[in-house]
Chain A
Amino acid sequence: MNTVVYSARRILTMNPNQPFATHVAVRDGRILGAGSIESLKGWGRFELDDRFAGKVILPGFVEGHSHAYEGGVWKFPYVGYFDRTSPDGTRSSGLKSIDEVVATLQAYERTMPRDGSTLLAWGFDPIYFGGRRMDLADLDEVSTARPVVVLHSNLHVLNANTPVFAKAGITRHTNVHGVVKDERGEPSGELQENTAKFMAYRAAGVELSTLLSDGAATWGFAKVAQLAGVTTATDLHNTLPESTVAAYLEASASVDFPLRLLPAFAAFSMSPDDGIARLRELAKKNSERLRFQLVKIITDGSIQGLSARMRWPGYYDGTLNGVWNVGPDEIDRLLLAYHRAGFQVHIHTNGDQASEVAIEAVERALATAPRWDHRHTLQHAQMADAGQFRRMKALGMCANLFTNHLFYWGDVHYAKTLGPERAERMNACGTALHLGVPFAIHCDAPVTPIGPLFTAWCAVNRLTATGRTLGEAEKISVAHALHAITLGAAYTLKLDEELGSIDVGKRADFAILDDDPLAVAPVKLKDIGIWGTMLGGRIFEAPRT
């Protein structure tokens, strides 16, 4: 029984009985106690470790809404607008024009073997390029000898070069929704719908879901999370085919795997009877670092993709209402089945009509099958208003708000999709806090980068990419934001008794920071360096660049 006491500049525990400490004792991967060195002496012999004496220790961050694809995308070059860190700690600079994207891809292309293999890139986002879109000619400049496919950051749109279009047989005569045409009626190079995209992938020989969820991707995801101080993260929508389950089991069996991973089963991928049986079977394989327990239902699309389901008055720019992925009656059917079976259900709702439908589905499920402490959680709930939060509170629901949107798409929401009023109040952390709805905040990686301190910074400062403040009244304090990325997120995953705070008996999962989030200026919160993490008592230092 080996006990190690770690000293720190300061420990923020999230335990109200003792919010701050200087020392934490760890035994058998768990927290034996926190306090002063004097208060810990009573536990008997220990080894004192001062390596974190200059650091600040927090509970390991909990990312309640991410996707393990984040680990897979890094096999391919990143061509996004904003800087981004890869699993090995290297920083890719953001590309500020289509010409820069083309130049970066040309340089990458020259390093590839001359075998006609596909060049796939990801993270592209043209919203700050003054309306200019990427076209066929741009990517033909990269290569016409191999397929070139560029996936946009929203994962809903892609661009490809002429060889891909030729092989897929997409021409000016292809009158299919999602094949964008230019003013001459020729395909522009952009494909927007699943059907068209899938054909391009096939023409390019890309099996995206396989590429993004193998063993290497699983490890990549854990590493990129670790770099951000995350010790527990969800893969919040997965059909869980055997190959993915095998990759998760193998990776998480290693004590060097630096993450507790929670995949959420995609409820719509099979009938509830089969799904419940499958999930119960999978739960038997649960371990310290892998938990099958969550269920996900995706109701609508995205706000920036103009596919969210909106209540009146709808989109600010007059775009028609979005689409249901799973419609109101089906939401009831799926939710009730998993609710009855005792599972916690996470429901993706971006638009406020989707939130309304989901809340009412929970209300009906509870009337049919009363159940305490279900913690069904609205994921995103970006447009939820005070009335909806009141109903969520009354029903025992949680919310996981997408505060990163305020920065990445806030300007677009203000000007185009939602208009000023609804953009100001979106991702309403202040309202959730005030009304007592348990909530977390999230990144939805790889849609935006995983980084809970950045996500907390968004909740605290509510700044857009161009520097506009959205919703003074919805700002929350740094302390509340830190709660949301630790214990608050753990609560939405039903892990709050096991982790999320530094308290006796909990897992020794820590985020180890260079500076004190409560001492720096709130606007600097995102800039605090992350030394690494501890997971179950094992130390994982982040590589530094």
Chain B
Amino acid sequence: MGNDARRPHLRSPEDVTTPIPFTVIGGFLGAGKTTLLNRLLTGATGRKLAVLINDFGALDIDGELVAAHGGDTIALSNGCLCCTIGDSLVETLLTLLERPEQLDHIVVEASGVADPGRIADLAMLEPRLARDGVIVVVDSGDVQQRAVDRRVGDTVMRQLKAADLLVLNKIDLARDPTAVRTWLAGQATAPIVEAQYGDVPAALLFGLDQLGTTHPGGEAENFRSWSYRWSGPVDRAALLAMLTETSTDVLRAKGIVRFSDSADRRSIIHMVGRRIDVSEDGPWRGDAESRLVLLGARSVLHFLERE
């Protein structure tokens, strides 16, 4: 053991030991984490999700969708699982990994005062997990007030700074949405997605699993995905600079790229919000075309078209 190699983030059929993407949904009590999770669980995302939550009581799952209810686990007829965290998140998670079901993605709901970044650390230590994103849900109506509360202000700020992606939720309830957005952008470097009732595109949360295919306009109206292909080697610095530069607008990216400085090996790009991971994968097999898929706000696409 003691393997230093960075783990690949993409699942492929020929590699059954590929780790499962691991997403943490953070945010203060009342921000809308449960509503968002409810949507993911019951929405037809086509993915087999396991969602770890603090309390079943807060969930609102249609009884018809429940296939089996076994104490601290609910199996849904769409293939998703929902588990309560109980006393130990780590133990619950390890138990989940022992289950026979093939899972496409694991999502953890952080407690209202937890630092979601610390929870995401789990994926850095557990080889069966791949750290995906830390998504922090923010209540537009009260985040500014919470942030200066002497008891919880520092907790809220830690959460905002830990985010790879911020969901500015309940935007319809904000008295001055622009002011909240401006304030939030000043507190944290993560890109901000506005939402009502936790309604954000599933692809934004779970990634772009169909590399190389793109469905412009297929997502919610404010989001679009965009794909690139390159037949020749790609300059590493230029590509990373582009991603960094656009990271307030490009919310997710995933790609397999042949970099000119490492042309014989596949490099995996995985970006959630402000966080960009590049890892070395195996040698190229057959088709050596680099592919990159981006998901972002509609406005950014003009910029990309110019490139």
Chains A and B come from one and the same complex = yes
Of B30, B115, B151, the most chain A CB neighbours within 10 A belong to: B151
Taking CB atoms and an 8 Å cut-off, the chain A residues in 24-58 that contact chain B are: none
Min CB–CB distance B31 → chain A (angstroms): 12
- Contacts A166-B2, A271-B55, A357-B151 given: A198-B90 contact, CB under 8 Å? yes
A273 in the interface (beta carbon within 8 A): yes
Does A270 lie within 8 Å of B155, measured CB to CB?
no
A353 in the interface (beta carbon within 8 A): yes
- Contacts A239-B87, A271-B57 given: A353-B151 contact, CB under 8 Å? yes
**The stretch of B60-68, B118-126, B194-202, B255-263 that contacts the partner chain:** B118-126
CA distance A173 to B277 in the complex (A): 14
> What are some 30 contacts across the A-B interface (CB < 8 A)?
A166-B1, A167-B1, A168-B1, A169-B3, A169-B125, A171-B2, A174-B124, A174-B125, A175-B124, A176-B124, A194-B90, A195-B119, A195-B121, A196-B121, A199-B126, A268-B87, A269-B86, A271-B56, A309-B151, A311-B150, A312-B150, A321-B154, A327-B111, A327-B155, A328-B151, A329-B30, A329-B112, A330-B111, A353-B150, A353-B151
Does A270 lie within 8 Å of B84, measured CB to CB?
yes
Min CB–CB distance B122 → chain A (angstroms): 5
B interface residue count range (under 10 / 10 to 19 / 20 to 34 / 35 or more): 20 to 34
Does A330 lie within 8 Å of B55, measured CB to CB?
no
The dominant DSSP class at the B interface is loop
Residues of A within 8 A of B127 (CB): 169
Q: In this complex, what residue of A is CB-closest to B58?
A: A271
Residues of A within 8 A of B91 (CB): 198
Taking CB atoms and an 8 Å cut-off, the chain A residues in 157-196 that contact chain B are: 165-171, 173-178, 193-196
Does B86 lie within 8 Å of A270, measured CB to CB?
yes
Does A173 lie within 8 Å of B4, measured CB to CB?
yes
A285 in the interface (beta carbon within 8 A): no
Taking CB atoms and an 8 Å cut-off, the chain B residues in 229-252 that contact chain A are: none
Does B118 lie within 8 Å of A193, measured CB to CB?
yes
- Which B residues fall within an 8 A CB radius of A? 1-4, 6, 29-30, 55-57, 84, 86-87, 90-91, 94, 111-113, 115, 117-119, 121-122, 124-127, 150-152, 154-155
Number of interface residues of A (CB under 8 A): 42
CA distance A195 to B94 in the complex (A): 12
CA distance A177 to B125 in the complex (A): 11
CA distance A357 to B6 in the complex (A): 44
- Contacts A194-B90, A328-B152, A330-B113 given: A170-B125 contact, CB under 8 Å? yes
A249 in the interface (beta carbon within 8 A): no
Question: A269-B86, A328-B151 are known contacts; what are 20 more A-B pairs with Cβ within 8 Å?
Answer: A171-B4, A174-B124, A174-B125, A177-B121, A193-B118, A193-B121, A195-B119, A198-B91, A239-B87, A270-B84, A271-B57, A273-B57, A323-B113, A323-B115, A326-B113, A327-B29, A327-B111, A327-B112, A327-B155, A329-B30
Does B112 lie within 8 Å of A330, measured CB to CB?
yes
Min CB–CB distance B92 → chain A (angstroms): 11
Residues of B within 8 A of A174 (CB): 124-125
Residues of B within 8 A of A312 (CB): 150
Min CB–CB distance B106 → chain A (angstroms): 15
Does A320 lie within 8 Å of B154, measured CB to CB?
yes
Residues of A within 8 A of B150 (CB): 311-312, 353
Q: In this complex, what residue of B is CB-closest to A273?
A: B57
